[in-house]
Structure 1
Amino acid sequence: MGLTVVSVLRSGGQYQAWHVSRLQGQVKAATPSARFVCLSDVSVDCDRIDLLHDWPGWFAKIELFRPGLFAGSVIYLDLDTDVVGDIAPLAVREFTMLSDFYRPDLPASGVMGWCGDAPGEVYEAFRADPHGAMARCRHRDCWGDQGFIAAALKRAPSRFGREVVSYKVHCLKGVPDHAAIVAYHGVPKPWDV
């Protein structure tokens, strides 16, 4: 199996189908052999997997952990990401997340990777009590989906290296040559710069 690159689009928020098309275009330009898929509840211009739950905002990403969705290497990208180089070398065997750019001890979910199914315990734990999980993950040490994912894992995730950079932290003088992915956490968004 080849590399699958996946994103998530939940309707009703700030992101639209054109954000998916934009990211798909960057992935195809940088890594032509990759398959691009979006989990969504709206029509998108790529392969789509239906979202099954009405989990709001970033919590829709928890559906990436549903069993049986993927085979082979998978890289997940937030829609506010720029792909600036070949991402095939980022394919991993074990579940991998970003390190938070300001608090590196905390994992971040803007870019994630795995092989085959993502750790199913994340989906099962969230599905058992989604409202409780969302309520618990509203503070700095368990922030949003990434806090829930880290807490639900049976072991600490591996972390991506220097190929994934932050626009705000690493790109003040331009995109570093070693970067394959530029993450835009917060503002600005890539289409604003």
Structure 2
Amino acid sequence: MLVVTVLRQSKKFTPKHAQWIHKQFAPFESICLTDAKHIDGVKTAPLLHDFPGWWSKLELFNPNHPVLGQQDLLYFDIDVVVTGDLQELMNEAKSFTMLSGLSYTNQCNSSIMYIPCEIKEFVWNRFMANPQKHMDECDTPECWGDQGFLSKITQPQQWQHLLPNRIFSYKVDIAQPSMLGYEALRSNGRHLGVPPKDAIVVCFHGYPSPWKTGLSWVPFFSVKESISGKIKAWRAKRKAAK
């Protein structure tokens, strides 16, 4: 099983972000599927198509990819924080697995996926039959992006059922009213503040990115982001106190 991320370069996501997440995967073998020609310290494999944004993740299902095609994959979004032992996910994953809905409860979330070889051809062929049609149709809260497409055509296992209380969402489980990015409508009311000691992964979906939070349990990204995050966190706390 190979640990993998996807990076299509943009203003928001750069090779530095790939380096940041792949440091968290040690000691497991990992690779980044990307349009970057080279990323220092990170093994890479080429994106072969020009699908926009998160739709690049569908290339993980290409059974003919020269590097990844015959590999079982454990995929992570670049903006997750690893807080525990990934071996536990590897031990539990037996068939195609996604997260149960985080932002959209009627569909699965693709921030973390186990993609076995045997499902790749089915998903890839369905998508490649008419990529633009699928991208156009998956543009509503009921069917959003790549995860809406995957939820529509598959019946994945769900990580939270395999590993209860081990995978968390920053917005849903952790953010407190005084913390950056807190949204009352998305919070489940637990307001944990920090990941529990037995947490394996914390998912950040939407605003804020983990490196912009100023939180001590988020791995260091850069001096600039650390200072900016601490200032934003202080402002959020001050605003909540009013």
Shared fold (TM-score, shorter chain, > 0.5): yes
Deviations 1:96-134 (CA, angstroms, capped at 9, x unpaired): 000112444421101101333543222111112111111
Structure 2, unaligned stretches of length 5 or more?
176-192, 214-242
Correspondent of 1:14 among 12, 18, 23? 12
Equivalent residue for 1:38?
A: 32
Contact 1:121/1:152 (<8 A) preserved: no
Correspondent of 2:173 among 170, 173, 177? 170
TM-score normalised to structure 2 length? 0.72
Where relative contact order (Cα < 8 A, 6+ residues apart) is larger, the structure is: 1
C-alpha displacement of 1:49: 1.3
Alpha carbons of structure 1 residues 163 and 107: separation in structure 2 relative to 1, 3 Å:
same
Contact 2:104/2:141 (<8 A) preserved: no
| Structure 2 counterpart of 1:65, one-letter code | F
C-alpha displacement of 1:13: 4.9
Q: Distance in 1 between matches of 2:69 and 2:132?
A: 27
Q: Distance in 2 between matches of 1:14 and 1:184?
A: 14
Q: Distance in 1 between matches of 2:198 and 2:57?
A: 27
Contact 1:82/1:183 (<8 A) preserved: yes
Deviations 1:38-84 (CA, angstroms, capped at 9, x unpaired): 11011223221111100000000000001152556531000111011
- Which of the two has greater helix per residue? 2
Q: Please say which structure displays the higher CA radius of gyration.
A: 2
For the pair 1:67 / 2:51, whether they are aligned, the reply is no
| Structure 2 counterpart of 1:77, one-letter code | F
**RMSD, aligned α-carbons:** 1.7
Q: Distance in 2 between matches of 1:64 and 1:48?
A: 13
Deviates more, 1:173-182 or 1:55-64: 173-182
* Percent identity of paired positions between Structure 1 and Structure 2: 35
Correspondent of 1:182 among 194, 202, 205? 202
| Structure 2 counterpart of 1:44, one-letter code | I
Tell me the secondary structure at the aligned position of residue 182 of structure 1.
Answer: strand
Equivalent residue for 1:125?
A: 126
Q: How many equivalent pairs are there?
A: 185
Q: Distance in 2 between matches of 1:151 and 1:186?
A: 22
Contact 1:10/1:57 (<8 A) preserved: yes
Contact 2:62/2:69 (<8 A) preserved: no
| Structure 2 counterpart of 1:78, one-letter code | D
Deviates more, 1:86-95 or 1:102-111: 102-111
- Which of the two has greater strand per residue? 1
Structure 1, unaligned stretches of length 5 or more?
none
Equivalent residue for 2:108?
A: 107
Equivalent residue for 1:94?
A: 95
Tell me the secondary structure at the aligned position of residue 5 of structure 1.
Answer: strand
Q: Distance in 2 between matches of 1:13 and 1:55?
A: 17
